[in-house]
Amino acid sequence: MNFLPNDTLAGYARTAVDLRARMVDYHRSPLAAQYLQAFFGSRLANHPSPSPAGMGKVLTAVRAITANPWRFGEPYVIAPAMTAIIAAAAAALDLTGEVLPADVAPDDGGVLFLPEPIYHRSLSGEVSSIGAITWARTTNTGSGRSFWAIAGWADHRDPHDPAAVRRRQQLTDRPDLARQFGPYVLTDFTEIPIGQPVDPRPDLPVLDGDDRDWEPAPDGRFCIDETTTAMRASAAIAYAFWRIQAQPLATVAAAPLDRAARRRAVRASIRHDTRVVMLRRTSPLAGPTDGEPKWHYRVRFVVRGHWRRLIDRDGHPYRIWINAHIKGPDGAPLLHGEKVAVLAR
């Protein structure tokens, strides 16, 4: 079971409960522990090897960080109309040097479903989907520093994801193992500090592209190229969602849940207050004002989406996303290009 095109709010809620219940079951299986050990073992290959006891503690902590949001986290679904907005905001994001407050996320833990996945290209040139993102606020017991642990999950059955196709081919001879996987597979894990400046990406080398086979993204799908972005795709998508869902640009609706789905959620002991984030119907930013304008545009032109930095009443900086829009008087010619003609008085 997965999300359906043009689904209703009730359909989103029902599917979210089913997928989360299956992910909770998956995290109870031996395969989940084995997969985490292989996943993080490869990422720690270039670091000093911890002792077996130390590695066991790391895996126990990571297993809780990746599993708990599916059961206890606040569930959200991004309506397909919002996907391109979230993806564009994520691709343009650079948090380097910024200090994020603890309340930047809507909850200490959550799971975000993307019925229309966002794809990302890794440094190796391979393309993979992001069908869900989980986050959890946690604290390093050694340093005492808090951070957001953000995990990116690929839809295991996505027919358009080249990484999923490869994964299924590798499991052709192991149908018993293939059946043990949950609906989503962990493909990315990163951290964003809380109360500390965000460090630059340490894994962004200078690439010439000559010796790499760049895998194309599925037609018509948004793909974040991690070889050029300042942040890892999953972290950027999570932050973009946190900010945009709180803006007037979006509307967050509680999805009704039918009795059968509610009973299943109770049996699985998971939260079932799913919220669907949709694009709000927009109105003009400003109405007519008194007096003659000092200038006005003679054409309409496209304003690219961008992040705007603001300061709140307490002097703390924050960002809002200004979505791409057309500016200028109704009926004026639409200008193609970067130049804008202004008629000044």
Given a cut of 60, is residue 158 above it in pLDDT? yes
Which among 281, 332, 319, 323 is positioned nearest to 304, based on CA atoms? 323
Which among 270, 275, 193 is positioned nearest to 241, based on CA atoms? 275
Confidence tier at 45 by pLDDT (50, 70, 90): low
In which element (H, E) is residue 112 found? strand 109-121
Does residue 179 contact residue 226 with C-beta atoms inside 8 Å?
A: no
Count of C-beta atoms within a 10 Å radius of residue 76: 23
Does residue 319 contact residue 306 with C-beta atoms inside 8 Å?
A: no
Predicted pLDDT at 290: 46
Does residue 130 contact residue 114 with C-beta atoms inside 8 Å?
A: yes
Given a cut of 50, is residue 117 above it in pLDDT? yes
Given a cut of 70, is residue 218 above it in pLDDT? yes
Lowest mean pLDDT among 127-136, 179-188, 214-223: 214-223
Which among 86, 112, 82, 218 is positioned nearest to 158, based on CA atoms? 218
Confidence tier at 317 by pLDDT (50, 70, 90): confident
3-state secondary structure of 89: helix
Predicted pLDDT at 17: 94
State pTM to two decimals. Answer: 0.84
Which among 58, 61, 23, 29 is positioned nearest to 41, based on CA atoms? 58
Cα distance between residue 113 and residue 80, in whole Å? 11
Per-residue pLDDT averaged across 78-107, rounded? 92
Per-residue pLDDT averaged across 193-197, rounded? 94
180-199: b or e for each residue (b if 16 or more CB lie within 10 Å)? bbbbbbbbbbbbbbbeeebe
Q: Is 149 left (phi over 0), alpha (psi -120 to 50) or beta?
A: beta
